[in-house]
Amino acid sequence: MSLSVERVPQGERSSASGAGESGGPGRRASLGAYVRAYVALSKPRVIELLLITTIPVMFVAAGGVPPLWTAVATLVFGTFSAASANAINCYIDRDIDQEMRRTRRRPVAMHQVTPRGAMIYGLVLAALSTAGFAVFVNWLSAALSLFAILFYIFVYTMLLKRRTAQNVVWGGIAGCMPVLIGWAAITERLDWAPFILFLVVFFWTPPHTWALAMRYREDYAAAKVPMLPVVATDQRVLLECVLYSWATVLTSVLLWPVAQTTVFYLAVAVVLGIVLLVQAHRLLAASRAGVSGAKLKTMGFFHLSNAYLALLFTAVTIDPLLRGWLI
């Protein structure tokens, strides 16, 4: 994580309350170190998905610029919701986080935050998020936010992650929920348009995650997490990436008639979709030609998919503002 704190020597580790884990005096960490540790515990880079998908859907729901207070409250309590799920995930996965290069610097794995501190932090944020949505936004957004937290913890983290290669497929539902939450925050109901965007994120998640997992295949294998790249060949993984990428692009285009977007959104969705599909097919072709391992450059696809989602939802944001000129 970009905001993680440097490892503290064994004798100097401290808990969230300021005491060493062993109960000894230990050296108290500075306030800044605690703040950085708890920010890292929230997985701020994961929370970026919340911002990328929640803000645009509020523009579509409002038919333009959404009410400022509602938008701010939704983002604040949505951030609390995502941070809650991420912190509790760090508590549950602290054993495997220590085994993986990508996660071993997380605060619980590094003993910068105790497991108890992480759990309390997560539960407090969950309560604040749910109550905040209910009081300052509406009950539907509160219910959807709570569902997202519970689904991520109990269905993805505890049930699917360590048991099936389909973990990120169905577990990704939690990451799609900000779309529904943003729509419900503005309209106090659900409609077909947010479900289309929900499906865009749903189909986008597996190839995006599998591209990263191919880079860290050995880590997942050592931690006994059956990610698809661990249990399947490169060709099988990349074929599924192609299929899910096609589903992502076709669903993104479907938003045009369902939400009656302008030709601006349609053009952006088509161009971005072509770029994504070309790269996915190139990777599959390279794999079939015998290229494997780091030479496949799957991280390029991972970063491209990040840009794809960001730019697509930027177009979703801009489109309602252009409706009067381009319809």
- Superfamily name and number for 1-189: UbiA prenyltransferase (1.10.357.140)
The pLDDT of residue 25 is above 80: no
**Kind and range of the H or E element at 307?**
helix 298-326
Nearest to 310 by CA among 198, 180, 201: 201
Q: Give the model's pLDDT for residue 327.
A: 55
Q: Which residues of 57-91 are buried (b: 16+ CB within 10 A; e: fewer)?
A: bbbbbbeeebeeebbebbbbbbbbbbbbbbbbbbb
| End-to-end alpha carbon distance in the chain | 43
What kind of architecture, by CATH, is found in domain 191-327? Up-down Bundle (1.20)
- Return the domain boundaries, the chain: 1-189, 191-327
What pLDDT, on a 0 to 100 scale, did the predictor assign at position 227?
96
The reported pTM is 0.88
pLDDT number for residue 13 = 38
Statement: residue 14 has pLDDT above 50: no
CA-to-CA distance for 47 and 159, rounded, in angstroms? 22
Cα–Cα separations (whole angstroms), residue 279 to 68, 105, 237, 284, 298: 38, 31, 14, 9, 10
pLDDT of residue 2: 32
Under the banding of pLDDT at 50, 70 and 90, the label for residue 28 is: low
- Answer whether residue 170 shows pLDDT above 60: yes
Least confident of 197-206, 225-234, 286-295: 286-295
pLDDT of the residue at 198: 97
User: Is residue 13 a contact partner of residue 21, using CB atoms and an 8 Å limit?
Assistant: yes
pLDDT at position 29: 62
Q: Which residues contact 245 (CB under 8 A, 6 or more apart)?
A: 203, 207, 276, 277, 280
pLDDT over 90 percentage in the chain = 76
Q: Which residue has the higher pLDDT, 269 or 110?
A: 269
Among residues 122, 114, 83, 74, the alpha carbon closest in space to that of 1 is found at: 83
Tokens standing for residue 213: 């997992």
**Least confidently predicted of 13-22, 49-58, 235-244, 310-319:** 13-22
Provide mean pLDDT across the span 110-126.
Answer: 94
Average pLDDT over residues 227-255: 97
Which residue has better confidence, 48 or 199?
199
